[in-house]
């Protein structure tokens, strides 16, 4: 029989809980079946065994390897999963990060765009951290904009810009309108602000939408 295998069957097999279902799951995995193991199911199995059942990482890694070695189980890319398991165990990365690094390594890309410094543990992969740079468009006349948040939030530019100033995101535009975004003190979410200009040098009067 050919079928996709679900996480709960694997958990029953490796934990023996509950015993009746565990016995049936083990027998099913050992039978002459063609069971397809999606990458996501393996990731979920690792998460459940480590978090809910609190199995040591080394035991979970061995269980994952033994699963991939079963004649009845097949995966789309066993090499990728085995490398993921290795990074997850040896470098102590989250399984998703280990999968990402293994994918970057085996594909030949060898770079991951991320803010997560744990990826630096993998010597074969280079982490690329996005850097903040102002966006620049076409030339426009010089103007000065001062937000209603007080002193220190001034933008003087010949071109449109996007930049952070404190907790404010300032967006300069060629027209006489701009947008500001700020973290709301009520719920911490980013809220848009509408600012309307008056002339070449103007105070921006803002209100929370």
- Is 136 a member of any domain? no
pLDDT confidence of residue 101 = 98
Please tell me whether residues 9 and 105 are part of one structural domain.
yes
- Is 134 a member of any domain? no
- Looking at 128, 157, 186, the residue that finishes a domain is 128
Tens of pLDDT along the chain (209 residues) come to 999 999 999 999 999 999 999 999 999 999 999 999 999 999 999 999 999 999 999 999 999 999 999 999 999 999 999 999 999 999 999 999 999 999 999 999 999 999 999 999 999 999 999 987 654 544 433 333 333 344 344 344 344 444 444 444 444 443 333 344 444 445 555 444 444 433 333 344 443 33
Domain count, the chain: 2
Please tell me whether residues 35 and 123 are part of one structural domain.
yes
- Looking at 104, 128, 152, the residue that finishes a domain is 128
pLDDT confidence of residue 32 = 96
Please tell me whether residues 165 and 91 are part of one structural domain.
no
| C-alpha neighbours within 13 Å on the C-beta side of residue 92 | 2
- What's the distance, Cα to Cα, between the start and end of the chain in Å? 59
- Is 135 a member of any domain? no
Cβ–Cβ < 8 Å for 98, 87: yes
- Is 168 a member of any domain? yes
Please tell me whether residues 30 and 105 are part of one structural domain.
yes
- Is 96 a member of any domain? yes
Residue with tokens 């040591």: 56
Peptide linkage before 18 cis (omega within 30 of 0): yes
Cβ–Cβ < 8 Å for 97, 118: yes
Please tell me whether residues 69 and 93 are part of one structural domain.
yes
CATH number of the CATH domain containing 21: 3.40.50
pTM: 0.64
Element (H, E) at 91: none
Residue with tokens 């765009």: 113
Those residues with Cβ within 8 angstroms of residue 58's Cβ, 6 or more apart along the chain or in another chain: 89
Please tell me whether residues 89 and 173 are part of one structural domain.
no
Those residues with Cβ within 8 angstroms of residue 157's Cβ, 6 or more apart along the chain or in another chain: 142, 143, 172
pLDDT confidence of residue 132 = 77
Range of the domain at 111: 2-128
pLDDT confidence of residue 151 = 39
pLDDT confidence of residue 177 = 39
């Amino acid at each position: 029989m050919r079928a996709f295998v679900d996480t709960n069957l694997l958990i029953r097999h490796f934990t023996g809980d509950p015993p009746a279902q565990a016995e049936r799951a083990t027998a099913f995995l050992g039978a002459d079946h063609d069971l397809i193991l999606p990458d996501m199911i393996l990731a979920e199995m690792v998460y459940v065994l480590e978090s809910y059942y609190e199995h040591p990482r080394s035991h979970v890694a061995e269980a994952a390897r033994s699963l991939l070695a079963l004649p009845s189980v097949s995966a789309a890319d066993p090499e990728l999963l085995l490398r993921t398991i290795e990074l997850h165990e040896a470098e102590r990365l989250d399984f998703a990060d280990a999968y990402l690094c293994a994918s970057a390594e085996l594909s030949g890309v060898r770079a991951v765009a991320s803010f997560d410094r744990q990826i630096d543990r993998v010597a074969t992969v280079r982490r690329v951290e996005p850097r903040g740079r102002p966006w620049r468009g076409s030339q426009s006349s010089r103007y000065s904009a001062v937000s209603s948040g007080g002193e220190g939030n001034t933008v003087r530019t010949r071109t449109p810009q996007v930049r952070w100033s404190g907790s404010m995101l300032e967006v300069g535009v060629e027209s006489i309108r701009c947008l500001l975004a700020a973290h709301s003190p009520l719920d911490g979410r980013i809220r848009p602000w509408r600012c309307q200009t008056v002339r070449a040098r103007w105070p921006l009067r803002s209100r929370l939408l």
